[in-house]
Chain A
Amino acid sequence: MFDYFIRRLLLTIPTFIGCTIVVFTIVTLAPGGPLEQQIQALKKGGGETGGGGGLAGEQTLPPQALEDLKEFYGFDKPIWKQYIIWLGVWQRDAESFKVELNKRRLVGGGHSLMLTNDFKIVDADNPSEIAKDWKWEEAAPDAQGNKRYRIYRTEFSGVLTGNFGKSYKYPGKTVMELIVDRMPISTQFGIVGLILSYTLCVYLGIQKALRHNSVFDFVSSTLVFVAYSIPGWAFGAVLLVILCTQTFFPILPLGGFESIDYSDLPFFDKIWDRVIHFVLPLTAYTLGGFASLTMLMKNSLLDNLSQDYIRTAFAKGIREQRVIWLHAMRNSIIPIVTNIGYLIGVFVAGSYLIERVFNIDGIGKLTFDSAVARDYPIVFAFTVISVIITLMGSIISDLILSLTDPRIRFK
């Protein structure tokens, strides 16, 4: 058993690598990336400042600038190298500067460095002290033909060290900061939705099983199937039109996560404000998983109720309530519990569709916008997070299953 889970854990490594390689390759090779966008922007800017030459044709970037841009995005290296650098198993340039011999260069932390004639990188203020971390190499000469060198410092920093890089679109923000900013929204919807759907579904499932084939069962089955077939965001949109616009019953606010004057509200109004903004998106989020969970609970309980050990329990004269709640329920809850592994997903849960309908600035919107704008670091970060959550979720689920049900043996 222990071996099994070790093996499962080890198998996640090739999956993780495979998945990130596929996404990395497709996204990086697709044209229209940040480099092209930058070049386009520069060309446009250049054309305007040049002025007059309206039909002068395409402005070409000086090769120097193109070189610098490529270096900035790391596109000067082959794709496999970009990938392992991103992963953090290859050194990336932490700092890199173009210098001429014997000229001071200000680097991070208030230091100035200098490349001497005998190719040693020394502290400019104290030439006897050699900067050990720094390396140098020859670089392309500048426009005047002066010989230049590149001095750089490298470090291992990538996904494996927790560094997802910086966003292109939101300058000065790291990907981690952007995600953490939006996590509270996802977490709130995730956790409340989870508690709500589990409570309702388990209760409904039990009632349906106990009243199998009754009118209640029939009607609730229909409702549950309807809920299953309708995408959550679409149902949310219908509720939005009916409950939030002036046409019908304008009782709830029209989208958003909180009111504009939220911070000025007194405490209880704050809570109320949250609640009324919360109801519709929450409904939309919860709707999808409702059917499968309810039916799982119902079928599982029904299955157990028709087992021989229940018959035996009844035959022994145990009260019905006790048989159902103590004997049957304990076994019936097992399949429900196994889903709990995916709980770890609630912190970054987000559906762009729902967030778009209700105009919420959550994780879904961030990912969607970054995919459209080709903000690669964010796209990659989300690939990593979602892959890890899926893989870990299924392992945790199996683990919980094996803990709750001693009959199950994984091999």
Chain B
Amino acid sequence: MAKSASDSKQKTEILTINQRRWRKFKSLKRGYVSLWILAVSYTLSMFLPLLVSNKALYVNYNGNSYFPAVRDLLDLPVIGALGGSNFISGETLGQQGNAAECNYRQLQKQYEQENAGNTVIMPLYPYSSNEDISSGIGEQAEIVEQFAAPFESKNGSVPRLLGTDDRGRDVFSRLTYGFQISMSFALLVAFLEYLIGIPIGAIMGYFGRGFDLMMQRFMEIWGSLPYLFLIIIIASLITPNFILLVGLVTIFAWMGPAAQMRSQVYREKTRDYVAAAISIGVPTRKILLKHILPNSLVPIITFLPFAIVSGIGALVSLDFLGFGLPPTTASWGEMVGVGLAYVTDGYWWLVLVPLGAMFTTLILVVFIGEGVREAFDPKVFSRLR
């Protein structure tokens, strides 16, 4: 397996089980490549304000330097909601009569025409996810076209890679920001549901009896609640934001890992090594944490990618129904909702683009999941013939 050059190394190389799993996972190319693609895209998406934005990376105006995009980045919490402190008016940078937010795309053209040594460097893709026909009023307004087709370019501006939607918002830009939000959402939900589910499941499985019975009933009740109704009702009381939605989905999602953990611990605690540990007087806490937990975590970890899949699915569904993130947030579900409203008008990209992005992401995650499962649980079936 290990192609180490020297013989001596081969002798000393004793792999722990986790190293062996990692090697096995690496050998399954599909999952490994998927992991790389997703990891790189998600890391890049953290820097979206520098890559996909209508704010300039760098402006040099009359000898002064400005970094509007960097300000945006520092202002960007996980959610992608924009703060207020990153405002630079157009007049500050020489756009006459524009007291509103500076339009950097126009500023770039203006500087080029003036040729006075001022420079603007725009991000790779100079459109933001939330600019629509309503932004840029007055003389500085550009023509923002609704329903622009993919690759369509108006009067020499940078072409819209994936077109625009009903309000002239850029689809590609929304797509990228939507990716970041979906992934952050799913990762956070998965993390929290494990954080809650694993200890509860472990305690249920290890101590059993009253607590177990009580929690089982509780989970049964909690699990049969019509959770979409409850979210609809809660959403009508408070406008849901990122954190609230994470909470809402988590309080229903933790039961999966808890039930799994419970049955695992239940099985493990009857094993001989636990009996041995008890008989030599190892404290309960230590038995649970050091002996049982590592042994019962395997099926739970292999379930993680699928938890992420359902997290993304949940967010997209809720957004599609209109009970998800606030309307200013770029989200795939909302994009699909808009697209389906115009389904008869031939604006196919409004539906296919966000769903395509979602499918790609989900499939990558599932491939990772398949690889992880294979690596953790190399079941060898042998049969005659």
Q: Which residues of A contact B (CB under 8 A)?
A: 11, 14-15, 18-19, 22-23, 26-27, 30-32, 212, 221, 225-226, 228-231, 233-234, 237-238, 240-242, 244-248, 254, 302-303, 305-306, 310-311, 314, 320, 352-353, 356-357, 367-368, 371-372, 374, 379, 382-383, 386-387, 390-391
Q: Is the CB of B344 within 8 A of A352?
A: no
B317 an interface residue at 8 Å Cβ cutoff? yes
Interface residues of B in 285-340 (CB under 8 A from A): 309, 313, 316-317, 320-321, 336, 339-340
Residues of chain A contacted by B381 (CB below 8 angstroms)? 212, 302-303, 305-306
Q: Is the CB of A357 within 8 A of B317?
A: no
B348 an interface residue at 8 Å Cβ cutoff? yes
Residues of chain B contacted by A386 (CB below 8 angstroms)? 224, 226
Of A15, A367, A379, the most chain B CB neighbours within 10 A belong to: A15
Can you list 20 A-B contacts (CB < 8 A)?
A: A15-B217, A19-B225, A221-B370, A226-B363, A229-B362, A231-B317, A234-B358, A234-B359, A238-B356, A240-B343, A242-B352, A244-B343, A245-B343, A245-B348, A248-B348, A314-B384, A352-B321, A357-B340, A379-B226, A383-B225
B382 an interface residue at 8 Å Cβ cutoff? yes
Q: How far is the CA of A297 from the CA of B340 in the complex (A)?
A: 36
Residues of chain A contacted by B370 (CB below 8 angstroms)? 221, 225
Residues of chain A contacted by B316 (CB below 8 angstroms)? 231, 234
Q: Is the CB of A233 within 8 A of B317?
A: yes
Q: Is the CB of B232 within 8 A of A371?
A: yes
Q: Which residues of B contact A (CB under 8 A)?
A: 217, 220-221, 223-226, 228-230, 232-234, 236-237, 309, 313, 316-317, 320-321, 336, 339-340, 343-344, 346, 348, 351-352, 355-356, 358-359, 362-363, 365-367, 370, 381-385
Q: How far is the CA of A358 from the CA of B244 in the complex (A)?
A: 30
Q: How far is the CA of A31 from the CA of B359 in the complex (A)?
A: 38
A27 to chain B, nearest CB (A): 6
Q: Is the CB of B343 within 8 A of A372?
A: no
Residues of chain B contacted by A320 (CB below 8 angstroms)? 385
Given A245-B346, A302-B381, the answer on whether A234 and B336 have CB atoms closer than 8 Å is yes
Q: How far is the CA of A212 from the CA of B317 in the complex (A)?
A: 35
Closest chain A residue to B231, Cβ basis:
A371
Residues of chain A contacted by B230 (CB below 8 angstroms)? 23, 26
B331 to chain A, nearest CB (A): 14
Closest chain A residue to B364, Cβ basis:
A229
Q: Is the CB of A371 within 8 A of B343?
A: no
B87 to chain A, nearest CB (A): 36
Residues of chain B contacted by A248 (CB below 8 angstroms)? 348
Q: How far is the CA of A212 from the CA of B379 in the complex (A)?
A: 12
Q: Is the CB of A226 within 8 A of B366?
A: yes
Q: Is the CB of B366 within 8 A of A18?
A: no
Residues of chain A contacted by B382 (CB below 8 angstroms)? 306
B247 to chain A, nearest CB (A): 15
Closest chain A residue to B323, Cβ basis:
A372
Closest chain A residue to B369, Cβ basis:
A225
Closest chain A residue to B230, Cβ basis:
A26
A26 to chain B, nearest CB (A): 6
Residues of chain B contacted by A372 (CB below 8 angstroms)? 232, 236
Of A231, A238, A320, A383, the most chain B CB neighbours within 10 A belong to: A231
Q: Is the CB of B366 within 8 A of A23?
A: no
Q: Is the CB of A23 within 8 A of B336?
A: no
B342 to chain A, nearest CB (A): 10
Given A229-B366, A241-B348, the answer on whether A19 and B229 have CB atoms closer than 8 Å is no
Other-chain contact of B233, A26, A242, A314 (Cβ < 8 Å) = A26
Q: Is the CB of A371 within 8 A of B383?
A: no
Given A231-B316, A241-B351, the answer on whether A371 and B359 have CB atoms closer than 8 Å is no
Residues of chain A contacted by B358 (CB below 8 angstroms)? 230, 234
Given A226-B366, A228-B366, A230-B362, the answer on whether A237 and B340 have CB atoms closer than 8 Å is yes
Other-chain contact of B351, A11, A237, A311, A382 (Cβ < 8 Å) = A237
| The 4 residue pairs across chains A and B that have the minimum distance between CB atoms | A229-B362, A18-B221, A229-B366, A305-B383
